[in-house]
Structure 1
Amino acid sequence: MPPPGVCLNILEVRNKENGFGSISKPEKFFNQDYQQLTEYCITRGLRYIDNRFPPDKNSIGYGILSPSDMNNVTWLRPAKIVPNPSFIVQGISRFDFGQGILGNCWFLASLGALTFQTDIFKQVVPVEQTFDKNYCGLFHFRFWRFGQWVDVVIDDKLPTVNGRLIFARAKYQNEFWPALLEKAYAKVCGSYTDMNAGSPAEALMDFTGGVHMHIKLSDPGLDLWNLMARAGHSGSLMSCGTHQGTPANNILPNGIVQGHAYTVTGVKELMSQGKPAKLVRLWNPWGKGEWKGDWSDRSPLWKTVSAEDHEMYLSVYDNGEFWMTLEDFCKFYVDLDICCLCPNFLDGQSSCHWKKTSYEGKWVSGITAGGCINNKDSFWTNPQYRFKIDHGYSETVGEKNMLLSLMQKPHKRNRHLFQNLHIGFAVFEAHKGKFPASFFNSHAPVAQTKTYMNAREVMEFFMLKPAEYLVVPSTFSVNKTGSFLLTIMFKGEAHGQYASHILPLLLINGVVFSIQDIFFRTDVSRTGTLSLTELRNALKTAGMVVSDEMLNLMALRYGATSGHLTLESFISLILRFNCMRSESSNTMCCLS
């Protein structure tokens, strides 16, 4: 058998083509169907209990509670905590919730940003849920996970001590959407403990499925103020983090918490004493604890602005939200994460749009895990993808017309058990034709990641001239097995034509061919499928000779009801067959 997952999974591909995994047709997490479970419980008068994330210590996880504290935990439904539970009380706001004993400020800071975008919030949190009509102790939420949306079902039993929630809690005691959403995300991560510590970028991406941009505030390398202003205006979600301290969550004399995530809730330029003051508004997911320096709630500098600005922007409450200057922001915070559905905020041009396409792949030790470009003998064996930038794309100096994102997919059920590999990618200009193994030894990348990082995602914006390119995603070290999601975004004028075909490559007798080229060359009937005779010729072109019996089995396994193979089926067949052959002959011959 070939290494697991090397080849395309036909069912997954067809499901995606039919819209499965989209926000309108999310995949069912653990194959649990919310509608079916609801109907089952209602017709039988049952209160749902989730056997895939049961109300016990395994779902809490180990390490955040002592054994004695764990013994004091009681799982209660909201109606056992308060007499009149509600899903949502008086709308949605970042002030609705606060952090519990779990170190998941990164998640709650991202959630605070999500509350500003009502449409996106409703995608994640189905707001029609209630404790009244058709209540059966069952709720569901949606998250974007590595290329597809998933619908996550939970029961509403929540961990409490002495009748009080121990994790995220709401401002109103009878409001439960924050605690239930946190539980659903804990289920996705593996346990509540698996949510302990993380990057806001993770949750921002899982809330939106959008574009993520990470900025080091010590060296932003761009016009940070205008970028943040445009991001805020475009409805982007923003969060940030402070420098690590000892001990963790140490509160500095100025009120800033070290090693803590915050939400960026506003960006505004005010006139103060005749001069512009560039201010950033931040929110602490603790729901309290604020900055004490310039432009804090009680700063005398607020007396220097107009009465209108004073009334509109100053709120003197210990609710965790405060203003500070951009200069202080860059001084006391280490990084900024911006997440949006479309990166138009980069240049503020509404006349342009971005087109996205994503592809899944694998690095398999000994076959397609060639390591970084320093490994001259094996780098070329990494998965390779070709794309084209047409002349219709903007070539304004300083603009970015392309985004590349590489995200690694975990193979572990629990978030903390998965160790991120150091990943990156290189982009080469590549003319039409074949790519010999020596190509990468004689051609330097025209663009690449600045460094290989052991992060869930690495991404870069580029300005590339019109040409054909080859992108090679890789791990830093050789023979590191892992799955990845490669996303390519192009920017062009609205009427532009886009070429973003990804061509799996195949090595035959030392020469790299496009499987797509073989397919169309042997499809002499021009039907867009391969008949049995055409399939035999295609296999011969690919250097594969099979018996009649094997040919029939291939048509039965990979063909449609007619037995004819589509392009996707042919690619799956060739890659699987090639990897089986490479395993038996102990040679590298699978490139995608």
Structure 2
Amino acid sequence: MPPPGVCMSIMQERNKQEGVGSLANPEKHSNQDFQQLKQYCLARGVRYIDEMFPPDHNSIGDGLLSSDFMSRVVWLRPAKIIQNPDFIVDGLSRFDFGQGMVEDCWFLASIGALTFQKDILEQVVPLNQTFKEDYCGIFHFRFWRFGRWVDVVIDDKLPTVDGNLIFVHSKTPNEFWPALLEKAYAKVCGSYADMNLGTPSEAMMDFTGGVHITFKLTDAPSNLWDLLFRAVQSKSLIGCGTPQGETSANTVAPNGLVRGHAYTVTGVNKQILSQGRPVNLIRLFNPWGRGEWKGDWSDKSSMWQTVSPNDRKMCLSVKEDGEFWMTMEDFCKHFTDVTICCMRPDFLDGNSKGLWTHSIHDGRWVAGTTAGGCMNFPNSFWTNPQYRVKIEGLDRDCSETQGDNNMLVSLMQKPDKRNRRLVKSLYIGINIFEVRSQFKGQRGKFPADFFNTNVPVAQTKNVLNVRTVVLLSRLKPGEYLIVPSSFNPNETASFILSILSKVETQVHENSNDQDIVEIPKLMPTHNRADMDNKQTLFRQYSDQFEEVDAEQLQRILNETLLQGYAKKTQGFSLESCRSMVALMDTSITGKLNSAEFQHLWRKVTVYKDIFLRSDVNRSGMLSLSQLRNAVTASGVRLSDSLLNLIALRYGGSSGNISLESFISLVLRMDRMAKIFRQLNQGGAISLRDNEWMYITMYA
């Protein structure tokens, strides 16, 4: 069983700092080590079978194949399909493959783009794999998945019917890199069925770890052809899509284009002369490997007779291979959007010197604490995660003409489900605010008043239900606040915020400065009568040794502290009282003496008072938004990430926190912070395993 999620988060963050998850040192998907598994199989003379993505119907997934067809599926290794299988035959090309029974044209269109960029392709597809030397039925591929590179191991058993591959297949019968690459991506998506439907930007980002910019062709920039031409030159992956037809089926229009289909942009010419007039042409590829445009400049169009023989020879290839040319005007008319994916958006101004810097930040919206919704919700918008950016100076090469954007912010949702089709995407957007001089001394999160009196200097045009939204802007030197948000408040989700800047920039999350809890010491009471009352109360419930155990503490709290409040709460559980005793028990007897009890009682009465003051609607419960105020009033300084964990741990299914839960959580924070302060050396603690268990098992 894997360690608890909070432990895994700490481990992943530490691994990230040590370079794990980088392209040079990818994370092992499903904790599978390719080299170790291969050596194990070679040493024992066996063929590898992947237990994490087994050759059965679960890996195909539900709803993709009919039950009759599914019953005919047989998983075969390539050597059982054809003699002398090979991983790659005569290099990798967009013409190598054809789509199968999965509607993953978006993925295959992205592979088509990938084949043009050899350096990027070799990041994804290790080329030294073979069916000959040291073959044992195991292969691996690399993808960038939500902030980190992962190495994905698969076996080479492929689903077939009557000996034929049913999903992507190579046009060269003994070539298998396309089918194995698709299987590896199906594994990270959850199943083959989970690859149904998508956008090229998703796969292209998973191939590069870069950013993408999508242009809607109904509102295309006037210099789109120049942008595409520069993007082709700058090692970008480019995909596009056609509008949906009357149904979701991929029907073919009379002009030869497939409706609701993804295509690859494979070329942009430098203009050719047709009867003395310059023409801008764009070349596209259908991942079906067949089916082409029938209009002007198609393979058999008479327009090719109007150009020079040299241009015709250079551009025209009359083959039924799915690739064709068309004018930019027809492209904008018959396609809906075009997406450019790149490591750096150098193509925007065509004056790149590799000056873009890139920072990535993991974040989370949690209902009631940091899921504030969009600006339509002014009372909660401020609770969203905030990122403070300081721009030191303008890029010298930026002009006031087209291409003067110096900041790109990308917001990507992270899935909370293993299976891609089960992921619930939110409507998300980005707002950027300028931090003017009167606010530059602000520490911690900017309050609601700031957003009520300031308007964004840049924002996404619309809040979109997509995996990733991108905001391009030009920001002058100064300080800014970037606020990513979902449309509605109280929607829990994780995200990655990427900030690319062509100017010198400093970025940090604008939460409280640290996760360590700081609770001020409660002032001791000098009221003699109050001290006598506590002592009397203690003696009323204590045993003959003047001590109280968890059961006695439960009676005291429920009968005395909750007096007049019983109808609004179920009372302190025995388990929570055991925890309180353990936290306050300095003598490790399992009981509290008089001094320990009075110390505890002083704390819980203060926390009760804070709870009652924070419960403004007198419901007897704190909403998660009220929790933030109550925790702050308790003197606790927390980062958003720790506040999110508290809400998830103590909020329950209702999202509300009871008085006893609030007292328990604040007391735990107080005592655990004190343990850290007592044990830390240089801001960190080092514990032997028995010491760690000693603390955690009695707390």
- Alignment TM class, shorter chain as reference: 0.7 to 0.9
What's the secondary structure of 1:95's corresponding residue? helix
- Correspondent of 2:492 among 481, 496, 503: 481
Question: Which residues of structure 2 form unaligned runs of 5+?
Answer: 519-633, 639-665, 686-699
Partners of 2:307 and 2:414 in 1: CA distance: 49
Gap change, CA 1:120 and 1:33, over 3 Å in 2? same
Contact 1:115 1:121 (C-alpha < 8 Å) held by counterparts: yes
1:501 is matched with 507
1:171-320 equivalences under 5 Å are 171-247=171-247, 248-268=249-269, 269-320=271-322
Contact 2:93 2:112 (C-alpha < 8 Å) held by counterparts: yes
2:434 is matched with 429
1:95 is matched with 95
1:536-575 equivalences under 5 Å are 542=637, 550-551=672-673, 553-554=675-676, 562=681, 564-565=683-684
- Structure of higher RCO (CA pairs closer than 8 Å, 6+ residues apart): 1
1:335 is matched with 337
Partners of 1:361 and 1:548 in 2: CA distance: 26
The answer to whether structure 1 residue 445 and structure 2 residue 456 are counterparts is yes
Partners of 2:667 and 2:510 in 1: CA distance: 21
Deviation at 1:342, TM superposition (A): 1.2
Contact 2:59 2:190 (C-alpha < 8 Å) held by counterparts: yes
Deviation at 1:499, TM superposition (A): 2.9
Deviation at 1:140, TM superposition (A): 0.4
Contact 1:5 1:362 (C-alpha < 8 Å) held by counterparts: no
What's the secondary structure of 1:433's corresponding residue? coil
Letter paired with 1:162: D
2:399 is matched with 396
Deviation at 1:565, TM superposition (A): 3.5
Letter paired with 1:554: F
Gap change, CA 1:565 and 1:115, over 3 Å in 2? same
What's the secondary structure of 2:219's corresponding residue? coil
Partners of 1:369 and 1:317 in 2: CA distance: 53
Deviation at 1:11, TM superposition (A): 2.2
Contact 2:517 2:636 (C-alpha < 8 Å) held by counterparts: yes
Letter paired with 2:453: S
Partners of 1:162 and 1:180 in 2: CA distance: 19
Deviation at 1:553, TM superposition (A): 3.6
Deviation at 1:56, TM superposition (A): 0.5
Partners of 1:116 and 1:261 in 2: CA distance: 17
Partners of 1:383 and 1:371 in 2: CA distance: 11
What's the secondary structure of 2:172's corresponding residue? coil
Letter paired with 1:360: D
CA offset digits 1:513-571 (Å, max 9, x no partner): x449999xxxxxxxxxxxxxxxxxxx9894999999634643699x6xx56249xxxxx
Partners of 2:412 and 2:506 in 1: CA distance: 19
Contact 1:249 1:257 (C-alpha < 8 Å) held by counterparts: yes
Tell me whether 178-187 or 309-318 shows the greater mean CA deviation.
Answer: 309-318
Letter paired with 1:501: V
Deviation at 1:167, TM superposition (A): 0.4
Gap change, CA 1:396 and 1:136, over 3 Å in 2? same
Deviation at 1:374, TM superposition (A): 1.2
Contact 1:96 1:170 (C-alpha < 8 Å) held by counterparts: yes
CA offset digits 1:153-194 (Å, max 9, x no partner): 000000000000000000110000000000000001100001
Partners of 1:277 and 1:330 in 2: CA distance: 14
Partners of 1:38 and 1:50 in 2: CA distance: 12
The answer to whether structure 1 residue 322 and structure 2 residue 324 are counterparts is yes
Partners of 1:12 and 1:517 in 2: CA distance: 19
1:459 is matched with 470
> Which structure carries more strand by proportion?
1
1:137-148 equivalences under 5 Å are 137-148=137-148
1:524 is matched with none
Q: Identity, % of aligned pairs?
A: 58
> Which structure carries more helix by proportion?
2
Q: What TM-score do you get using the length of structure 1 for normalisation?
A: 0.86
Q: How many pairs were matched up?
A: 529
CA offset digits 1:418-455 (Å, max 9, x no partner): 11001112111114211333111111111111111110
Letter paired with 1:118: K
Rg comparison, structure with higher value: 2
Letter paired with 2:505: A
Question: Which residues of structure 1 form unaligned runs of 5+?
Answer: 493-497, 507-513, 520-538, 567-592
Partners of 1:12 and 1:132 in 2: CA distance: 36
Deviation at 1:236, TM superposition (A): 0.9
Deviation at 1:246, TM superposition (A): 2.8
CA offset digits 1:445-470 (Å, max 9, x no partner): 11111111110000011011111000
CA offset digits 1:314-335 (Å, max 9, x no partner): 1010000010111111111111
What's the secondary structure of 1:228's corresponding residue? helix
Contact 2:241 2:336 (C-alpha < 8 Å) held by counterparts: yes
Deviation at 1:213, TM superposition (A): 0.5
Query: How well do the aligned residues superpose, as a CA RMSD in angstroms?
Result: 2.3
CA offset digits 1:315-365 (Å, max 9, x no partner): 010000010111111111111011011111100003352100010010000
Partners of 2:448 and 2:83 in 1: CA distance: 70
Contact 2:385 2:509 (C-alpha < 8 Å) held by counterparts: no
